[in-house]
Amino acid sequence: MYKNLFIDFDDTLYDTKGNANISLKEMFEYFHLDQYFPDYNKFHQSYWKTNVELWDQYAKGEIDRDYLILERFRRPLSEGVDSNGKPFNPTPEYCLKVSDVFLEFCSNKPGLVDGARELMDYLKQKGYKLFMCSNGFHEVQYKKLKSCGLLDLFDKIILSEDAGANKPSPVFFEYAFKETGATVSDTLMIGDNFSTDILGAKSVGLATMFFNRKPDTFTAPEPVEFEIHSLKEAIGLL
C-alpha cells in the first residue's frame, strides 16, 4: 500500500533528549558553570523548559534559528549567580560559544531510540523508500546521522532549512513531495510529535503513524491510521 515513508528523526529514531542530557552535563562541566549554579538540576530544568518553548515557536515560524540558538542558553544562564550573589549576565558571544560546544557534544552522540536500527534495517529490506523529514539544523543533523550510523539507510534527507519552512507547514511537505517524487496516496508519515509530524502530515492528506512515547500521559486528539508505543510495533504493521 505504501511505497514511501517520511520518517521524523529526533526522538523518533535518534534519542535526541537522552543524548542531549548527557551533552548538557558535559557542557556544564566544560564551562565550570557550577560557579553560577551549585544545583545542576536547576539549570537542567530551566534549559529544557526554555528549549521546548523555543522549538515550539520555531516550528510555528514565530522565531528564526539564530534567535533560538541564542535564547535557549541565554535565558537559563541568566538565572545563575556568582559567589557574591551577583546575577550572571552572559553576553551573546558567550551564549553562542556555549551553544557551539553543546551542539558539538550532541552531534557526536550515537544513541538511538530502542528498536530504531532494527526498524530501519527491516524497512530497507522490505523495499520501502525511506525519507528523513526533520526540522533540525542542517550541519547538526548530518553529524548526528553519521554518529548513529543511519545516514546510508535513507534515500534522501529532507530538512526544514532546505524546504524554507518547518513542519507542520504544508510548504515543508510540498517540498518533500517535490524532492522525493512521493505522493499522498503512496506515502506514510512516521513521527513522535503530534503537532509537527502528525498534524502537519494530516494537513496535506498524508496517512500517519504516531509514535506515542508517553501513552500514559498523552492521548492523540485526532484519529490516526496507526499508533505505536515502541518502534518494534511498527515492524508488525509495515
End-to-end CA distance of the chain: 9
CATH number for the domain running over 17-107: 1.10.150.240
Class of domain 4-15+112-235: alpha beta
Above 90 in pLDDT, residue 231? yes
Above 90 in pLDDT, residue 84? no
The answer to whether 98 and 27 are in contact (CB under 8 A) is: yes
Helix (H, G, I), strand (E, B) or coil at 130: strand
Domains 4-15+112-235 and 17-107 share a fold: no
The predicted pLDDT at position 83 comes to 82
> Which pTM value belongs to this model?
0.91
Torsion angle of C-alpha atoms 105, 15, 12, 65, degrees rounded to 10: -30
Contacts with 104 (C-beta within 8 Å, 6 or more apart), sequence order: none
**What pLDDT band is residue 3 in, cutting at 50, 70 and 90?**
very high
Above 90 in pLDDT, residue 40? yes
Q: What is the pLDDT of residues 85-133, one digit of tens each?
A: 899 999 999 999 999 999 999 999 999 999 999 999 999 999 999 999 9
Helix (H, G, I), strand (E, B) or coil at 211: strand
* Beta strand pairing call for 4-7 and 207-211: unpaired
CA 120, CA 5: separation in Å to the nearest integer? Answer: 11
| Residue whose grid cell is 510529535 | 193
> Looking at this protein, which amino acid is placed at residue 162?
D
CA 205, CA 190: separation in Å to the nearest integer? Answer: 14
Q: What is the pLDDT of residues 151-187, one digit of tens each?
A: 999 999 999 999 999 999 999 999 999 999 999 999 9
Structural domain spans, the chain? 4-15+112-235, 17-107
